[in-house]
Amino acid sequence: MTDSFVHTSYASRVVFGPGTLEQVAAEVELLGVRRALVIATGSAQQAADVVEEALTERFAGRIDGVRQHVPTEVAEAARATAREVEADGIVAIGGGSAIGLAKAIALTADVKILAVPTTYAGSEMTPVWGETSGGSKTTGTDVRVLPKTVVYDPMLTLQLPLHTTAASVANALAHCVEAVWTERANPITETAAVEAAKALADGFRELLREPEPRSQHGLTSPADLSARGELLFGACLAGSALASAGTGVHHKLCHLLGGTYNLPHAETHAAVLPQVARVKAAEVPRAKARLEEALQTDDLATGLFDLFKAANIPTSLQALGLTREQAAEAADRFPGDVEEILTRAWAGTRPE
Ligand code: NAD
């Protein structure tokens, strides 16, 4: 029998498939947006050009300067631009940083976001925002920042370098794993998380079979596209699981580390997740077994660690530039006992 539960799902429209970038302008129109501000990450300039042209008179302006963890000065400048161009909508193309900047604007202005994600961070499916000021990252939840429409075009991810891909997949897997043990975890979020983990693991294995994407040689093979599609679908499900289940110790710890020591977001998740899983997964044996089946491993924590190691992602915080003293300081600042988790994550100890 299924236990009693409460689940909140967040309403957004998802348009998924190769070539859907071409539908962005029509989707903007469907949202009733008249003046769209385009925010594009460095790698997405070509895609932004395509959208800018297709938007015709609905194009209001463009922001290309995007930085991780949404520094307040970047957010303030973007808010000023949005006011200047009288934007009532934003098209954000890029990873979590571009989408995060759009969210920072939507937090203080009445704008509708259309997100076009090009990594697997999953921010596009969540009402969670973040901003960093003076070495401290503040996060919050507000439905005003939830993108109204998300356009997933796997074609845009074909050139995502393997290292960035691997770290971003680790970030998405962190959403799946944490979504099974948070206070708001429930059978719906658990099922989404398990299916997401399966899609991410399958897509990633498929991609690793061909580590030099054939698309880099000017050709897009069906295999590349199929793996990229699988990964993007996993990211979408993982993001929605995170949105409904909320964050727990793992995400809170990664936000503290990322915001305070300016560590790279996705890589930090990869170093911390196996260590948190070692401690937390035992609390949720059914979900642990389902995730292990999805990831084809006998043990969740070591399975994740070995997967990240095989993908050449740094599995220690030390390798990301965090000092031992900073790790100890973070453990002191965290509201909860994470000393062992941080000691092991700093050293990159296999979580046996
Ligand atoms: P990112 O957006 O900073 O992108 C990483 C790098 O990859 C950048 O240099 C970017 O230009 C490049 N890139 C992105 N897409 C590419 C592509 N298709 N091809 C080639 N290069 C590409 O990193 P991220 O990990 O996607 O996002 C991290 C940020 O998102 C952090 O600030 C994090 O806090 C936030 N985030 C928020 C949520 C949420 O729910 N609010 C969820 C996840 C992440």
Task: Give per-residue pLDDT as tens, 75-91.
Answer: 999 999 999 999 999 99
pLDDT of residue 3: 87
CB count in 10 Å sphere of residue 18: 17
pLDDT of residue 209: 80
pLDDT of residue 211: 57
Atom of ligand 1 lying closest to residue 41 CA: 11
Q: 1.10.1740.10, 1.10.287.610, 2.40.50.140, 1.20.1090.10: which CATH number matches 162-347?
A: 1.20.1090.10
User: Could you tell me what percent of the chain has a pLDDT over 90?
Assistant: 90
Please name the residue that has the structure tokens 């895609």. 47
Task: Look up the pTM and report it.
Answer: 0.95
What's the mean pLDDT when you consider all of the chain? 95
Q: How confident is the model at residue 213 (pLDDT cuts 50, 70, 90)?
A: low
Q: How confident is the model at residue 168 (pLDDT cuts 50, 70, 90)?
A: very high
Domain with CATH 3.40.50.1970 in the chain: 13-157
Strand pairing category for 128-133 and 136-141: antiparallel
Q: Compute the distance from residue 305 Cα to the ligand 1 centre, in Å.
A: 22
Q: What is each CA distance from 316 to 165, 267, 328, in whole angstroms?
A: 18, 9, 14
CB count in 10 Å sphere of residue 263: 23
Tell me the average pLDDT across 192-201: 98
Q: How confident is the model at residue 224 (pLDDT cuts 50, 70, 90)?
A: confident
Any atom of ligand 1 within 6 Å of the Cβ of 154? no
Any atom of ligand 1 within 6 Å of the Cβ of 244? no
Looking at per-residue pLDDT, the higher value among 252 and 207 belongs to: 252
Q: How confident is the model at residue 136 (pLDDT cuts 50, 70, 90)?
A: confident
Q: pLDDT at residue 1 above 90?
A: no
Q: pLDDT at residue 216 above 70?
A: no
Any atom of ligand 1 within 6 Å of the Cβ of 265? yes
Phi, psi of 263 (to 5 degrees): -80, 150
Q: What is each CA distance from 109 to 55, 58, 79, 102, 147, in whole angstroms?
A: 21, 18, 8, 10, 14
Q: How confident is the model over 253-312, as pLDDT tens digits? A: 999 999 899 999 999 999 999 999 999 999 999 999 999 999 999 999 999 999 999 989
Residue nearest to atom 9 of ligand 1 (CA): 42
- Positive or negative, the Cα torsion across 232, 315, 194, 180? negative
Q: 3.40.50.1970, 3.40.109.10, 3.30.70.2170, 3.40.50.1860: which CATH number matches 13-157?
A: 3.40.50.1970
Q: Compute the distance from residue 284 Cα to the ligand 1 centre, in Å.
A: 30
Tell me the average pLDDT across 216-242: 86
Any atom of ligand 1 within 6 Å of the Cβ of 71? no
pLDDT of residue 135: 81
Q: pLDDT at residue 214 above 80?
A: no
Q: How confident is the model at residue 65 (pLDDT cuts 50, 70, 90)?
A: confident
Domain with CATH 1.20.1090.10 in the chain: 162-347
Which residue among 93, 123, 125, 252 is best mutated to probe the pocket of ligand 1, counting the most ligand atoms within 8 A of its Cβ? 123
Please name the residue that has the structure tokens 């962005």. 24
Which residue among 119, 236, 237 is best mutated to probe the pocket of ligand 1, counting the most ligand atoms within 8 A of its Cβ? 119
Please give the Cα distance from 255 to 297 (Å, whole number): 28
Which residue among 21, 68, 215 is best mutated to probe the pocket of ligand 1, counting the most ligand atoms within 8 A of its Cβ? 68
Q: Is the ipTM here above 0.90?
A: yes
CB count in 10 Å sphere of residue 136: 12
Q: pLDDT at residue 22 above 80?
A: yes
